[in-house]
Amino acid sequence: MTTPRLLLIRHAEVEEQFQGVFGGRIDMNLSRRGHEQAAALARYLQTRQVDALYASPMKRVQQTLSPFLRNGTPPPESRSELRELDFGDWTGLTFAEVKAQFGVAAEAWLDQFDRDRIPNAETRTACQARVATCLREIRQRHAAGTTAVFCHGGVTRVILALLLKLPLARTAAFAIDYASITEVAFKPHRPELQLLNFTPWRLPTS
């Protein structure tokens, strides 16, 4: 039996008005560059065996997934548990506005979320519970092969924290860029992080 693998794929770049913003549950589109990133991501993924597909229902994720879908691609399953984190009162604010209004630097958002210090945001416990439910079902369904999960930066961090048994705030050490792939292999005794923040759109074109 082949080693089961999980590809965690963050959506591509969002439209300009939402860059540098705590977007969270805002259902935004991709930018033109984001669509180009999604196309490059699809070209790379077509070189990989993908046996199952799951995705957040949010538009920026569905638009990132779209170029990859073709004859022979597993039908994607949309899962609401994979939607992005809810940033409460920070939603729609720029990083500078959060600093001015709440006295928190954008780089500290994970620590604030981990400690439930973002006003009216989803709690860390609730977020981890919904993501863990989906992750557990995916793992039960796919005991072998490669499963791709198209989602968000925040959700990718929650999944990594769950699998690697890390405090969520510790995942601040990981870069999770737009249209990036992070790969986890499920070895017999523990999950193993084998690829982190790989961005096919940065590869030189011939």
What average pLDDT does this structure show over 11-30? 97
The average pLDDT across 16-40 equals 97
- Confidence at residue 206, expressed as pLDDT on a 0 to 100 scale: 61
- Please provide the DSSP assignment of the chain as one string: -PPPEEEEEE--PBPGGGTTB--TT--PPBPHHHHHHHHHHHHHHTTS---EEEE-SSHHHHHHHGGG--TTSPPEEE-GGGSPP--GGGTT-BHHHHHHHH---GGGHHHHHHTT-STTPPPHHHHHHHHHHHHHHHHHH-SSSEEEEEE-HHHHHHHHHHHHT--GGGGGGS---TT-EEEEEE-SSSEEEEEEEE-GGGSPP-
| pLDDT the model gives residue 1 | 61
**pLDDT grade, residue 204 (50/70/90)?**
confident
pLDDT of residue 29: 98
**pLDDT over 80 (residue 43):** yes
The CATH class that applies to domain 5-20+28-85+123-202 reads alpha beta
pLDDT digits (tens, 9 = 90+) for 48-62: 999 999 999 999 999
122-134: average pLDDT: 98
- List pLDDT tens digits, range 130-189: 999 999 999 999 989 999 999 999 999 999 999 999 999 999 999 999 999 999 999 999
The whole-number pLDDT of residue 205 equals: 75
**What pLDDT, on the 0 to 100 scale, is given for residue 183?**
98
- What does the mean pLDDT of the chain come to? 96
pLDDT, tens digit, 9 for 90 and up, residues 72-117? 899 999 999 999 999 999 999 999 999 999 999 999 999 999 999 9
